[in-house]
Amino acid sequence: MGRMFAFLKADSFPEVGSSPGGVVSLLGRFRRSLEQVTNRLRARGQARTTYWLTRFIVLRLLGLVYFIAFLSLAQQVLPLIGENGLLPAQSYLERVEAHVGSRFDASLQFPSLFWLGASDGLLTTMAYGGAALSFVVLCGYANAVMLILLWAVYLSFTFIGQDWYGYGWEIQLLETGFLAIFLCPLLDARPFPRRPPPAPVLWLMRWLIFRIMLGAGLIKIRGDACWRDLTCLDYHYETQPIPNPLSRILHFMPAWFQRMGVLYNHFIELLVPWLAFWPRLARHTAGLLMLSLQVTLIISGNLSFLNWLTIVPILACFDDSLLRRVLPAKLVSRAERAAERASPSRSHRWAVVVLVVVVMILSYYPVHNLLSDRQAMNTSFGRLKLVNTYGAFGSVGKERREIVFEGTDDAVLTRSTRWKEYEFKCKPGDPSRRPCIITPYHYRLDWQIWFAAMSTPQRYPWTLHLVWKLLHSDPGALDLLANDPFPGSRPRYVRAVLYRYEFVPSDDPSGAWWKRTPLGVWIPPLSTRDSRLQRFLQAYGWLR
């Protein structure tokens, strides 16, 4: 810095006296020197805080998450919320409209494009359209218009998805996707457009990851006592929604390993997020530590695309000074060329200013929730779900319960009746079947069955609708499952049995993955002639 201001030393100027020409010469040299200082400071600042590569990888990963979300939706949408689905979207919209009083008022309270119609054709078209558009983003092409469309379509599905869309990552994807809109130019979809990445949007993403991580940490400390006595991981790997093969290995690790795992989780979620707002070295360190936790969660279970999505705002902790060291040289070169020809937009700047103000105002309720001793988990405070509060695994189950659906073609039920099991695509069923690896894909029925096993059929009435469809060998319902025990025919009775599942050590001579113990009948045997079942379905509008 001393060399940069050397021109201020008296002996660096010629004798100018009081002549006008000397004054002009002095002012000219001063202006040129000041320009040099400004250019050097600007160059140093750009090297320190540019985000061309950051924007590139943030949008690519967001495109991947959107693609997986829409693809899994497209392949399951009709059996779940189609006209003949387990929870038909059109019937739900009609009930909402009747409750609110008019379609217009209902559309204001529950904004969704599907108020224009929720036919099977439109549901499928929108789902596959979202998958196609997000694939374009994944391939490197994104602008604000494309991201607005993805956000609006996904928001529309969350309002009609009912139980299938009651997860925290739905609102997290909406908030992340909304912020990403302002990272891009309005129309220029090139991977490295002329418009520079607005730093305030990256700061808002750091604010998002701060709330995600701190919310998850606080809900644990305030929730289950096992997070405070460091024993939660003694159960988590076995009782999580969809374990994978590594889950069994982790479950049987020694006690000290499990305690260290809980401490590591608390350290990452409660302390590290604060560093996301510090200078570069601390911020990069925070990003790497939070990234390590998400990678650990990805490989230890099947938590849908939650952890992949959480990595998106974590990437905002990194700037080009770090990323240029780890990304391909060709990509770095393209980013540098884009920075040289950068052309800021005044309208874009004003849009970002408005965004910052809106997010800060809407952050009041999430912050209040974080500070509350009655902290809510995964909650939105507005119709558009722009700024939300998050949390995960505030409580951990101490035993794993599973519902197994069974059918029989016996005309009369006796003690010797032979029941055949329906297998789900990923959740535990057959004790000898190896756990699946499906992340970041998401089987929504498998997840909801995991929740239902901790409750009763009355709390999950769609399970009786599923029984009805299995009694009719409904192709849509069977498409959600891994097998059809009655190919070419129909079962006469279907029931659901509740079991307790426990991991079997890998060296067990049986070769099984699970040991299961029957706990009782969850849904008694039902047939198509059962008048109670018919009345129940009729009350919900599911019997046509």
What's the confidence (pLDDT) of residue 32?
60
CB neighbour burial string for 200-229, b if at least 16 within 10 angstroms, e if fewer? ebbebbbbbbbbbbbbbbbbbebbbebbee
Residues 173 and 289 reside in one and the same domain: yes
153 occurs within a structural domain: yes
Cα separation, 96 vs 86, whole angstroms: 17
Q: In what order do the strands lie in the sheet with 400-408?
A: 420-421, 400-408, 493-503, 514-526
Residues 420 and 369 reside in one and the same domain: no
What's the confidence (pLDDT) of residue 29?
59
Q: Where are the alpha helices (DSSP H) in 82-143?
A: 89-100, 103-109, 120-138
Please say which residue of 334, 359, 389 terminates a domain.
389
Which pairs count as long-range contacts for 407-412, CB under 8 Å and 24+ apart, including other chains? Answer: 407/470, 407/471, 407/485, 407/486, 407/491, 407/493, 407/494, 407/495, 408/491, 408/492, 408/493, 408/525, 409/486, 409/489, 409/490, 409/491, 409/492, 410/492, 410/493, 411/492
Cα separation, 453 vs 326, whole angstroms: 45
Distance of CA 337 to the CA centre of its chain: 33
Structure token digits, residue 69 = 């979300």
395 occurs within a structural domain: no
Residues 154 and 293 reside in one and the same domain: yes
1 occurs within a structural domain: no
Query: Residue 39 belongs to what domain range?
Result: 6-49
What's the confidence (pLDDT) of residue 39?
55
CA 31 vs CA 12, 19, 24: distances in Å: 15, 19, 10
CA 539 vs CA 495, 533, 535, 544: distances in Å: 21, 10, 6, 11
Please say which residue of 336, 363, 389 terminates a domain.
389
Read off the pTM. Answer: 0.89
199 occurs within a structural domain: yes
133 occurs within a structural domain: yes
Residues 197 and 262 reside in one and the same domain: yes
Residues 32 and 167 reside in one and the same domain: no
Residues 385 and 452 reside in one and the same domain: no
223 occurs within a structural domain: yes
Residues 245 and 328 reside in one and the same domain: yes
Distance of CA 90 to the CA centre of its chain: 26
Please say which residue of 389, 418, 437 terminates a domain.
389
pLDDT per residue rounded down to tens, the chain (544 residues): 444 334 334 343 344 444 445 544 544 554 465 456 445 544 544 445 799 999 999 999 999 999 999 999 999 999 999 999 999 999 999 999 999 999 999 999 999 999 999 999 999 999 999 999 999 999 999 999 999 999 999 999 999 999 999 999 999 999 999 999 999 999 999 999 999 999 999 999 999 999 999 999 999 999 999 999 999 999 999 999 999 999 999 999 999 999 999 999 999 999 999 999 999 999 999 999 999 999 999 999 999 999 999 999 999 999 999 999 999 999 999 999 999 998 988 999 999 999 999 999 999 999 999 999 899 999 999 999 999 999 989 999 999 999 999 999 999 999 999 999 999 999 999 999 999 999 999 999 999 999 999 999 999 999 999 999 999 999 999 999 999 999 999 999 999 999 999 999 999 999 999 999 999 999 999 999 999 999 999 999 998 7
394 occurs within a structural domain: no
Number of separate domains in the chain: 3
Residues 464 and 510 reside in one and the same domain: yes
Residues 25 and 85 reside in one and the same domain: no
Residues 314 and 363 reside in one and the same domain: yes
74 occurs within a structural domain: yes
Residues 454 and 437 reside in one and the same domain: yes
List of residues 6+ apart from 1 with CB closer than 8 A: none
Residues 349 and 406 reside in one and the same domain: no
